Protein backbone atom coordinates (compact mmCIF):
# COMPACT_ATOMS: atom_id res chain seq x y z
CA UNK A 1 0.00 0.00 0.00
CA UNK A 2 1.19 3.49 -0.84
CA UNK A 3 0.32 6.15 1.71
CA UNK A 4 1.04 8.93 -0.77
CA UNK A 5 -1.52 7.67 -3.30
CA UNK A 6 -4.12 7.15 -0.59
CA UNK A 7 -3.56 10.58 0.99
CA UNK A 8 -3.63 12.27 -2.42
CA UNK A 9 -6.90 10.50 -3.31
CA UNK A 10 -8.49 11.72 -0.07
CA UNK A 11 -7.56 15.29 -0.97
CA UNK A 12 -9.04 15.18 -4.49
CA UNK A 13 -12.52 16.70 -4.63
CA UNK A 14 -12.76 18.06 -8.17
CA UNK A 15 -12.13 16.73 -11.66
CA UNK A 16 -12.04 18.13 -15.17
CA UNK A 17 -15.41 18.35 -16.85
CA UNK A 18 -15.74 15.98 -19.83
CA UNK A 19 -17.80 16.65 -22.97
CA UNK A 20 -20.15 13.85 -21.89
CA UNK A 21 -20.84 15.56 -18.54
CA UNK A 22 -23.90 17.76 -18.07
CA UNK A 23 -23.23 21.41 -18.83
CA UNK A 24 -22.18 23.66 -15.98
CA UNK A 25 -24.87 25.70 -14.31
CA UNK A 26 -24.45 29.49 -14.40
CA UNK A 27 -22.80 29.64 -10.97
CA UNK A 28 -20.48 26.64 -11.60
CA UNK A 29 -16.96 26.43 -13.00
CA UNK A 30 -17.32 25.46 -16.68
CA UNK A 31 -14.05 23.46 -16.60
CA UNK A 32 -14.27 21.63 -13.28
CA UNK A 33 -16.89 19.63 -11.42
CA UNK A 34 -17.01 17.79 -8.09
CA UNK A 35 -16.08 14.13 -8.07
CA UNK A 36 -19.13 11.89 -7.98
CA UNK A 37 -19.14 9.91 -4.69
CA UNK A 38 -18.74 6.65 -6.64
CA UNK A 39 -15.77 8.10 -8.55
CA UNK A 40 -14.19 9.14 -5.27
CA UNK A 41 -14.71 5.71 -3.74
CA UNK A 42 -13.29 3.99 -6.83
CA UNK A 43 -10.27 6.31 -6.82
CA UNK A 44 -9.66 5.67 -3.11
CA UNK A 45 -9.90 1.91 -3.59
CA UNK A 46 -7.41 1.86 -6.47
CA UNK A 47 -5.05 4.24 -4.65
CA UNK A 48 -5.19 1.96 -1.62
CA UNK A 49 -3.83 -0.85 -3.79
CA UNK A 50 -0.81 1.03 -5.17
CA UNK A 51 2.32 -1.02 -4.53
CA UNK A 52 5.42 1.14 -3.90
CA UNK A 53 7.72 -1.64 -5.08
CA UNK A 54 6.01 -2.05 -8.44
CA UNK A 55 4.87 1.57 -8.76
CA UNK A 56 1.33 0.67 -9.78
CA UNK A 57 -1.94 -0.81 -8.57
CA UNK A 58 -3.76 -3.69 -10.22
CA UNK A 59 -7.04 -4.53 -8.49
CA UNK A 60 -9.59 -6.17 -10.76
CA UNK A 61 -12.98 -4.61 -11.40
CA UNK A 62 -14.47 -7.38 -9.29
CA UNK A 63 -12.13 -6.63 -6.36
CA UNK A 64 -12.97 -2.91 -6.54
CA UNK A 65 -16.65 -3.82 -6.68
CA UNK A 66 -16.36 -6.15 -3.69
CA UNK A 67 -14.52 -3.56 -1.61
CA UNK A 68 -16.64 -0.53 -2.50
CA UNK A 69 -20.06 -2.16 -2.77
CA UNK A 70 -20.48 -0.68 -6.24
CA UNK A 71 -21.75 -2.72 -9.18
CA UNK A 72 -18.96 -3.97 -11.50
CA UNK A 73 -20.42 -2.04 -14.43
CA UNK A 74 -20.50 1.12 -12.31
CA UNK A 75 -16.85 0.55 -11.35
CA UNK A 76 -15.96 0.20 -15.04
CA UNK A 77 -17.72 3.48 -15.83
CA UNK A 78 -15.95 5.30 -12.99
CA UNK A 79 -12.56 3.89 -13.99
CA UNK A 80 -13.13 5.08 -17.56
CA UNK A 81 -14.03 8.58 -16.32
CA UNK A 82 -11.09 8.77 -13.91
CA UNK A 83 -8.67 7.69 -16.63
CA UNK A 84 -10.16 10.28 -19.01
CA UNK A 85 -9.55 13.09 -16.50
CA UNK A 86 -6.02 11.75 -15.90
CA UNK A 87 -6.43 10.74 -12.26
CA UNK A 88 -4.32 7.75 -13.30
CA UNK A 89 -2.93 6.10 -16.41
CA UNK A 90 -4.03 2.59 -17.36
CA UNK A 91 -1.88 0.00 -19.06
CA UNK A 92 -2.87 -3.51 -20.03
CA UNK A 93 -0.49 -6.43 -20.39
CA UNK A 94 -1.02 -9.91 -21.75
CA UNK A 95 -0.06 -13.12 -20.02
CA UNK A 96 2.01 -15.69 -21.86
CA UNK A 97 -1.21 -17.50 -22.84
CA UNK A 98 -2.63 -14.36 -24.43
CA UNK A 99 -5.16 -13.52 -21.71
CA UNK A 100 -5.22 -9.99 -20.36
CA UNK A 101 -3.99 -9.22 -16.86
CA UNK A 102 -6.05 -6.86 -14.77
CA UNK A 103 -5.49 -3.21 -15.56
CA UNK A 104 -2.29 -1.68 -14.24
CA UNK A 105 -3.03 1.75 -12.75
CA UNK A 106 -0.19 4.28 -12.59
CA UNK A 107 -0.55 7.45 -10.52
CA UNK A 108 1.80 9.69 -12.52
CA UNK A 109 0.26 12.97 -11.35
CA UNK A 110 0.69 12.69 -7.60
CA UNK A 111 2.56 15.80 -6.46
CA UNK A 112 6.02 15.37 -4.92
CA UNK A 113 4.75 16.80 -1.62
CA UNK A 114 2.72 13.60 -1.14
CA UNK A 115 5.46 11.25 -2.35
CA UNK A 116 8.15 12.85 -0.17
CA UNK A 117 6.13 12.09 2.98
CA UNK A 118 5.75 8.42 2.02
CA UNK A 119 8.76 6.53 3.42
CA UNK A 120 7.92 3.29 1.58
CA UNK A 121 7.63 5.11 -1.77
CA UNK A 122 10.79 7.16 -1.26
CA UNK A 123 12.71 4.07 -0.13
CA UNK A 124 11.86 2.36 -3.42
CA UNK A 125 12.75 5.42 -5.46
CA UNK A 126 16.15 5.70 -3.75
CA UNK A 127 16.76 2.04 -4.56
CA UNK A 128 16.07 2.67 -8.25
CA UNK A 129 18.26 5.78 -8.34
CA UNK A 130 21.34 3.94 -7.08
- Nearest alpha-carbon partner for 62 in 102, 97, 90: 102
Total-model pTM = 0.88
In the structure, what pLDDT confidence band is assigned to residue 130 with cuts at 50, 70 and 90?
A: very low
- Nearest alpha-carbon partner for 49 in 107, 2, 101: 2
State the chain's mean pLDDT as an integer: 91
In the structure, what pLDDT confidence band is assigned to residue 1 with cuts at 50, 70 and 90?
A: confident
Q: What is the DSSP pairing of strand 89-91 with strand 32-34?
A: unpaired
pLDDT given at position 42: 98
Collapsing DSSP to helix, strand or coil, 8 comes out as: helix
Domains of the chain as residue ranges with CATH: 3-129 (1.10.10)
3-class SS letters over 103-127: CEEECCCCCHHHHCCCHHHHHHHHH
Amino acid sequence: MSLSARNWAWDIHWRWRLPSDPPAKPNEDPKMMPLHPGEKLTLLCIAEHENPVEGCAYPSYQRISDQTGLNVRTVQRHVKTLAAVKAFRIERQRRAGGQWYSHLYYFDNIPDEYREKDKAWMGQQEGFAA
